[in-house]
């Protein structure tokens, strides 16, 4: 299918929704056990809090490792096939939760089963999410990839918001085995629906080595990684920060953070096509920096709440804004590899930011991590500003 044709706005959105629904199912599978597995590993199996946290992190590690391969396979065999593989992995991760529940009398075997399920889920995340973005771009045209990435993110965080409380509810009534069954059923339904879809045409062309793809997109990936630190420290530590100040409303603050994030994508996602990914990202990074400074220097709860809202608002369009620019650096037949490599910077940032912030807290206190994060996001803004200047000089030189 030609990636540069035009669709009406309503039909284009319909095509995007028809694909990002698979991302929604994937992240629903991720969110459902988030609040359940740590308690099961710690209380039921009797392992340490570290091991409970490691079981959750195992999925992110698997995602980071497999993300580049997901993009390359999407280029080689087609986005649909990659999504189908990813959904199958998501579905069968639930089977290992069931085994873990059945084996709880032998904690090591139960833990090993759950660990394998988390690895399988990480594989499913990288394949489903990356494949869905490339599939959507193929359906609506690569010029609308910013819109595809934006809606993919809305599906991601919408699923996380819904999945965690639903997972707790299922666990209360049917325990971990019921949760595993639900993950299997939801994943297999999405798998069956994806399998029925028309195949995605694989664009014939020269596949450049991954090292070359990485070399072209790394500045944008680095900007994404630095900006993601703000996202990490808000979601991971805002509850502790509020408790340290004896403030109420940490949960509502996270809700406002999410509203700012999703609201920007829904209302202003189109500005990327209008003003360019670099300019939108630069403005967004400045807003995120201000938000993090407000949290770190907050004299009262309202300043911290507003800061969290601004952080979510600012971070929202950085991923699609810089992502559009990263994808432009390669031909259409290498866009999957570019998306995979670019997304891996986000995965890496999430994997290392929270642990490093935890170490920093031990030495300089909770408030300091928001100031450090603001500094890193500001570095991303400087990098983005330099890219804007270089582009303007290049355009002037060609006039």
How do the domains of the chain map onto residue ranges? 9-196, 210-397
**Cα(276)–Cα(283) distance, rounded to whole angstroms?**
11
106 three-state secondary structure:
coil
**Cα(277)–Cα(220) distance, rounded to whole angstroms?**
10
- Among 21, 57, 23, residue whose Cα is nearest residue 37: 57
Residue-wise pLDDT tens digits, 26-56: 999 998 998 789 889 988 999 887 888 788 8
Please, what is the average pLDDT of the chain? 90
Q: What is the pLDDT of residue 210?
A: 79
- Among 201, 346, 223, residue whose Cα is nearest residue 278: 223
C-alpha to C-alpha distances, 398 to 167, 274, 279, 392, 393, nearest whole angstrom: 56, 21, 20, 10, 9
The mean pLDDT value for 123-136 works out to 94
Residue-wise pLDDT tens digits, 176-225: 999 999 999 999 999 999 999 987 776 666 778 878 999 999 999 999 99
Above 60 in pLDDT, residue 348? yes
CB-based contact 62:118 (threshold 8 Å): yes
Above 60 in pLDDT, residue 373? yes
DSSP letter, residue 198: P
Q: What is the pLDDT of residue 354?
A: 82
Domain 9-196, classified CATH 1.20.1250.20, yes or no: yes
- Among 178, 205, 194, residue whose Cα is nearest residue 135: 194
Using pLDDT thresholds of 50, 70 and 90, give the confidence band for residue 3.
very low
**Cα(24)–Cα(58) distance, rounded to whole angstroms?**
20
- Among 225, 249, 223, 227, residue whose Cα is nearest residue 238: 249
**Cα(239)–Cα(142) distance, rounded to whole angstroms?**
40
Above 80 in pLDDT, residue 314? yes
**Axis-axis angle for helices 318-327, 277-296 (nearest 10):** 150
Q: What is the pLDDT of residue 204?
A: 60
The mean pLDDT value for 153-172 works out to 88
pTM of this structure: 0.84
C-alpha to C-alpha distances, 375 to 286, 289, 361, 382, nearest whole angstrom: 11, 7, 16, 11
Above 80 in pLDDT, residue 6? no
Between 3.40.50.970, 1.20.1250.20, 1.10.357.10, 3.40.50.300, what CATH number should domain 210-397 receive?
A: 1.20.1250.20
Above 70 in pLDDT, residue 5? no
**Cα(127)–Cα(73) distance, rounded to whole angstroms?**
9
Does the fold of domain 210-397 match that of domain 9-196? Answer: yes
Interior angle at CA 99, CA 175 and CA 105, nearest 5: 80
Above 60 in pLDDT, residue 325? yes
CB-based contact 152:140 (threshold 8 Å): no
């Amino acid at each position: 299918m030609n990636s540069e044709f035009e669709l009406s706005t309503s039909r284009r959105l319909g095509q995007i929704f028809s694909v990002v629904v698979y991302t929604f199912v994937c992240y629903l599978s991720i969110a459902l056990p988030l609040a359940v597995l740590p308690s099961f590993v710690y209380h039921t199996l009797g392992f340490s809090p570290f091991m409970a946290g490691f079981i959750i992190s195992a999925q992110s590690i698997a995602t980071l490792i497999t993300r580049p391969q997901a993009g390359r396979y999407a280029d080689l065999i087609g986005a649909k096939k990659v999504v189908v593989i990813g959904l199958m992995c998501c579905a069968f991760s639930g089977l290992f939760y069931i085994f873990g529940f059945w084996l709880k009398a032998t904690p090591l075997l139960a833990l090993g089963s759950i660990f394998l399920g988390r690895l399988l889920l990480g594989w499913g995340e990288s394949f489903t999410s990356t494949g869905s973005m490339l599939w959507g771009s193929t359906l609506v045209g690569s010029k609308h990839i910013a819109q595809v990435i934006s809606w993919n993110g809305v599906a991601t965080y919408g699923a996380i918001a819904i999945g965690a409380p639903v997972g707790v509810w299922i666990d209360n009534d049917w325990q971990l085995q019921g949760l595993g069954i639900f993950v299997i059923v939801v994943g297999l339904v999405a798998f069956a629906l994806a399998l029925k879809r028309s195949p995605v045409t694989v664009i014939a062309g020269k596949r450049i080595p991954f090292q070359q793809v990485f070399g072209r997109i790394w500045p944008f990936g680095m900007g994404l990684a630095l900006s993601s630190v703000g996202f990490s420290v808000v979601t991971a530590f805002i509850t502790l920060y509020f408790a340290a100040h004896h403030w109420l409303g940490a949960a509502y603050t996270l809700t406002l953070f999410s509203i700012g994030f999703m609201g920007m994508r829904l209302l202003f996602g189109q500005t990327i096509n209008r003003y360019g990914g670099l300019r939108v990202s630069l403005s967004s990074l400045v807003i995120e920096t201000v938000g993090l400074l407000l949290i770190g220097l907050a004299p009262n709860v309202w300043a911290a709440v507003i800061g969290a809202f601004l952080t979510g608002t600012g971070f929202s369009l950085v991923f699609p804004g810089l992502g559009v620019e990263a994808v432009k650096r390669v031909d259409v037949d290498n866009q999957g590899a570019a998306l995979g490599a670019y997304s891996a910077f986000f995965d890496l940032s999430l994997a290392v930011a929270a642990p490093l912030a935890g170490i920093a807290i031990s030495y300089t206190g909770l408030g300091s991590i928001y100031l450090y994060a603001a500094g890193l996001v500001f570095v991303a803004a400087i990098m983005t500003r330099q890219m804007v200047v270089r582009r303007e000089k290049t355009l002037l030189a060609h006039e």
